[in-house]
Amino acid sequence: MAGSAQALRPHLAADFGRRRIGLLGGSFNPAHGGHRHISLIALKRLKLQEIWWLVSPQNPLKPSAGMAPFAERFQSAVAAAHHPRIKVSDLEVRLGTRFTADTIAALKQRFPRLKFVWLMGADNLRQISGWQHWPKIFTELSIAVFDRPTYSSKALAGKAARRFWRFRVRPRQAKRIAELEPPAWVFLHIPLHGASASAIRAARGVRPRQPNERRAQP
């Protein structure tokens, strides 16, 4: 995969000092302007040097039906990123990890001097309590959550937010989030972006998962 090798070679050579790196994980099925929108805001508001898009080989919470092949999703991410400080990564494939907690542990071991921040939308904050070893995600690195109006109120009232509520920092501290000792998380209200992977798939005629189809547990 030529695009993969070109995008990742700098990350495998060495640990480049105490850089601040945002991690945006997902299926990217497909990647779109919304992913780039969040990444550009994160670069500015969180004072990050880079964003790494971690393209999942198969999200355990999503059905395989309707999931494009990894190579296709990876290339869609390369095309959508289109920014020198947004790096598209196949690290989960090469590390052999399927769960976010395992990926974070492997990245911290491989790059011990980097400061990682996990980036996610309010929809993922709402469901993160269903992820494998989810409390470890909060205790291993700082987290930035981005507003999604149809999810945000329930997300902030959900299990994960309630459990780690006392570690939530004010938005004005967002620029320091990478330097804070975890657990530390911030919730950011941002301008909306209209792109949606599910809407893109629907426009392409990809059949959505039916309500009675079972999902793998993380």
Q: Which two tokens stand for residue 88?
A: 């598209």
Region 194-205: mean pLDDT is: 49
Does residue 74 fall inside a structural domain? yes
Specify the long-range contacts of residues 108-114, CB closer than 8 Å, at least 24 apart: 108/140, 108/141, 110/15, 111/11, 111/15, 111/21, 112/15, 113/15, 113/17, 113/18, 114/15, 114/16, 114/18, 114/19, 114/20, 114/21
The answer to whether residue 24 sits within a structural domain is: yes
User: To the nearest whole number, what is the mean pLDDT of the chain?
Assistant: 84
Residue pLDDT, tens place only, 79-99: 999 999 999 999 999 999 989
Closest to 50 (Cα-Cα) out of 119, 98, 4, 2: 119
Report if residue 208 sits inside a domain.
Answer: no
Tokens of 107: 């990245």
Instruction: Using the predicted structure, report yes or no on whether residue 62 has a pLDDT greater than 70.
Output: no
Q: What confidence score (pLDDT) does residue 64 get? A: 67
Statement: residue 158 has pLDDT above 80: yes
| 6 vs 129 pLDDT, higher one | 129
Instruction: Please report, rounded to a whole number, the percentage of residues in the chain having pLDDT higher than 70.
Output: 77
In a domain, 2, yes or no: no
Residue 185: which CATH number? 3.40.50.620
Residue 85: inside a domain: yes
Cis status of the peptide bond prior to 218, with omega within 30 of 0 = no
Q: Are 55 and 89 in contact (CB under 8 A)?
A: yes
Which pLDDT does position 66 carry in this prediction? 77
Query: Residue 151: which domain range?
Result: 17-203
Q: Is residue 218, in this structure, part of any structural domain at all?
A: no
Position 153 in a domain: yes
* Residue 217 resides in a domain: no
What is the average per-residue pLDDT within 173-178?
A: 97
With cut-offs at 50, 70 and 90, classify the pLDDT of residue 209: very low
pTM over 0.85: no
Q: Structurally, how many domains does the chain consist of? A: 1
Amino acid at 199: A
The position carrying tokens 């542990």 is 105
Predicted confidence at residue 2, as pLDDT, reads: 37
Q: How confident is the model at residue 198 (pLDDT cuts 50, 70, 90)?
A: low
- Residue 76 CA to residue 14 CA, distance in Å, equals 27
**Helix and strand element counts for the chain (H, E):** 10, 7
pLDDT at 213: 29
- Quickly count: other Cβ atoms within 10 Å of residue 155's Cβ: 22
Taking 50 as the threshold, does the pLDDT of residue 53 lie above it? yes
